[in-house]
Structure 1
Amino acid sequence: MEHHITIRSEPYELAANLHYPLAEEEGGKGCGSGRYPIIIICHGFVGTRIGVDRLFVLAAREFARHGYMVLRFDYGGCGESTGDYGAGGLNALIDQTRTVLDYALDIDCVDPQRVVLLGHSLGGAVAILTAARDKRVKSLVLWSAVAYPFNDIVNITGKKTYETAVQCGSADHLGYALQPVFFESLSQHQPFEQLRKFNGDVLLVHGTADDVIPVDYCFLYQKLFWLRSQGQCEKEIIFQANHTYSGSLAKEQLLTKTRDWLLYIDKRKNEWYDWTI
């Protein structure tokens, strides 16, 4: 079951879809009668809640079949949401993510101890920065995550776009008017420095054929996550997968590996809870 919803995040109205776990008669693994874990999907730079080749739609439906609630949304100025993308800088994206967390945790059937942020590309960096500030986030799934926001995004837009934004107050990138405040905010946030503030479990996934965000970031992220005093970190490298996991094989591997990890950490937490009782 899926619902189209609107989440108010001043001054934006964020378009979103909420997926409920499928019951057994609907082809799911069964919902039970308790509270459900929830996955919030954070899309990347000038992306949407649909994803390239419907990646986030397919992901949400796959996770819902296995007992998860999933909330995917458009950041302000993207997809069907109102506003201008990047107008408030990276801080605005973090604030919007936290507002979506507020909405999710107001749902009666959501388990507050099983809240997952799933971020792709720049959404991965936003997920890390949000989790570093907001202890309600319990686990992170990072698909092809940005590591150096300013350098990585300027590499995508091109240096000329950045220079035009600084000189003229705005620059066009694929129809999006990017302002200097957006680029300035990117340089002010360092996910590598902030990740140590998050103590939950992390899954990193990256493709070897990613020509947008280097696969090397995945190895560096894992090393730094391992240096924390709490929380585990696993990585999955998908051979020949590109940045958006296009193609049926790459997409199937991405969703399967992510789903299996989510089910594993849920099982581990349940076993640990039973043991402590």
Structure 2
Amino acid sequence: MIKKEQFILSGSKDKTISGDLTYDDNYTNQPCILFIHGFKGFKDWGAHNQVAAFFAASGYRYFKFNLSHSGVTEAQPREVTDLDAFASNTVSMELLDVDTALNYIAHTYPLNPVYLIGHSRGGALAILKAANDDRVNKVITWSAIADFSSLWKKEQEEEWLTEGKIFVENARTKEKMPLNKTLLEDFNAHRDEFDILHAASKVKIPWLILHGDDDVNVKFSVAQQLAQSQPKAKLQKIQGANHVFGASHPYTGQDLPDHLQEVCDKSLAFLQKDN
């Protein structure tokens, strides 16, 4: 029987991290999966709950959580509405949040292996953790970026520092979402630490890179860059898939979209294999 439990953790800058755990209590000694959502994403976006149920039915404890400055609130868990929090987010704070979630899992299930799955910017966070945290046993990236600064235009940076903020569009709602200059300042202050391709070269654990070849947000060539940085990683192309593997928000289907089902099947096979 699939069960779901909620948890609340203390996140960056006095914001909370809301998360949930999906599992099937018919299984014992379940490995733990921690899912990290992407930029403008959140734990209940699209088909994330159906994905959690898929892995739970296969014998895994599936944790997902909202990064503390995702802009999602407990009052409105399926939309980004706290634009002040969203604007003040930084990569440093996201990494602290991921560490907090890992601490929680390691403390609660100290004997169970831990695997990371990260989507888009969450994939980049997963790579950084996989390169530097020996609690992580395997890592899977879905549509991962290879450079945090790819999320904005280089020519925006001068105006950003001068004006204090820039705006990015939510493709679904067309809303203009603010980003404070603290994001750029944090990135510039930690350029070496946040070098995703360098971190990729240091990943020693089994790593599966999944990427659609019809991804207009993050080109398939980015996945090839990651694989070139770490030749031991396994790269698999999802033929015809977009950035979110056919999902949308809100997602009303009972079954996973075909491309996302393929991603889950390949991810499960990778986790079950003795790499």
The interval holding the TM-score normalised by the smaller chain is 0.7 to 0.9
Match of 1:184 in 2: 185
- Give 1:186 deviation, angstroms: 3.6
1:274 paired residue number: none
- Residue type matched to 1:122 in 2? R
C-alpha distance in 1 between matches for 2:68 and 2:145: 19
Figure out how many residues of one structure are paired with residues of the other and give that number. 244
- The structure that is helix-richer by fraction is 1
**1:217 partner letter:** V
On the 8 A contact 2:138/2:271 being kept in 1, the answer is no
Structure 2: any 5+ residue segments left out of the alignment?
75-81, 169-174, 248-256
- Aligned residue number for residue 141 of structure 1: 140
- C-alpha separation in 1, matches of 2:25 and 2:246: 26
Superposition CA RMSD, Å: 2.2
Q: CA deviation at 1:221?
A: 1.4
Look up the equivalent residue of 2:66 and give its one-letter code.
D
- 1: CA distance, partners of 2:144 / 2:186: 17
1:41 CA displacement: 0.6
Secondary structure of the corresponding residue to residue 36 of structure 1: coil
Q: AA paired with 2:23?
A: Y
Using a 3 Å threshold, how does the CA distance of structure 1 residues 159 and 48 change in structure 2: closer, same or farther?
farther
> 2:202–2:230: 8 Å Cα contact kept in structure 1?
no
Which residue of 2 is the match for residue 5 of structure 1?
Answer: 7
2:23 aligned to which of 17, 20, 23: 20
TM-score norm. by structure 2 comes to 0.81
AA paired with 1:138?
A: N
Aligned 8 A contact 2:127 2:139 in 1: yes
Contact 1:6 1:15 (8 Å CA) reproduced: yes
Shift of the alpha carbon at 1:217?
Answer: 1.5
Amino acid in structure 1 at the alignment position of 2:165: S
C-alpha separation in 1, matches of 2:24 and 2:206: 22
Per-residue CA deviation, residues 23-42 of structure 1 (Å, 9 max, x unaligned), is 2xxxxxxx03xx32111111
1:154 and 2:159 equivalent?
A: no
Q: In 2, Cα distance between the equivalents of 1:186 and 1:209?
A: 29
Are 2:59 and 1:67 aligned?
yes
User: Normalized against structure 1, the TM-score is what?
Assistant: 0.81
CA distance in 2, matches of 1:21, 1:164: 50
Give the Å deviation of 1:168.
1.6
- 1:132 matched to 2:131? The reply is yes
3-state SS, counterpart of residue 85 of structure 2: coil
Equivalent-residue separation in structure 1 for 2:155 and 2:34 (angstroms): 32
Which residue number corresponds to residue 218 of structure 1?
A: 223
Aligned pairs for 1:28-39 within 5 A: 31-32=27-28, 35-39=29-33
Please, which runs of 5 or more residues in structure 1 have no aligned partner? Answer: 24-30, 227-231, 270-277
1:27 corresponds in structure 2 to none
- One-letter code of the match for 1:111? L
Structure 2: which amino acid aligns with 1:214?
Answer: K
Further displaced range: 67-76 or 166-175: 166-175
Amino acid at match of 2:95: I
Partner of 2:230, secondary structure, is helix
Q: Which moved more, 1:186-195 or 1:119-128?
A: 186-195
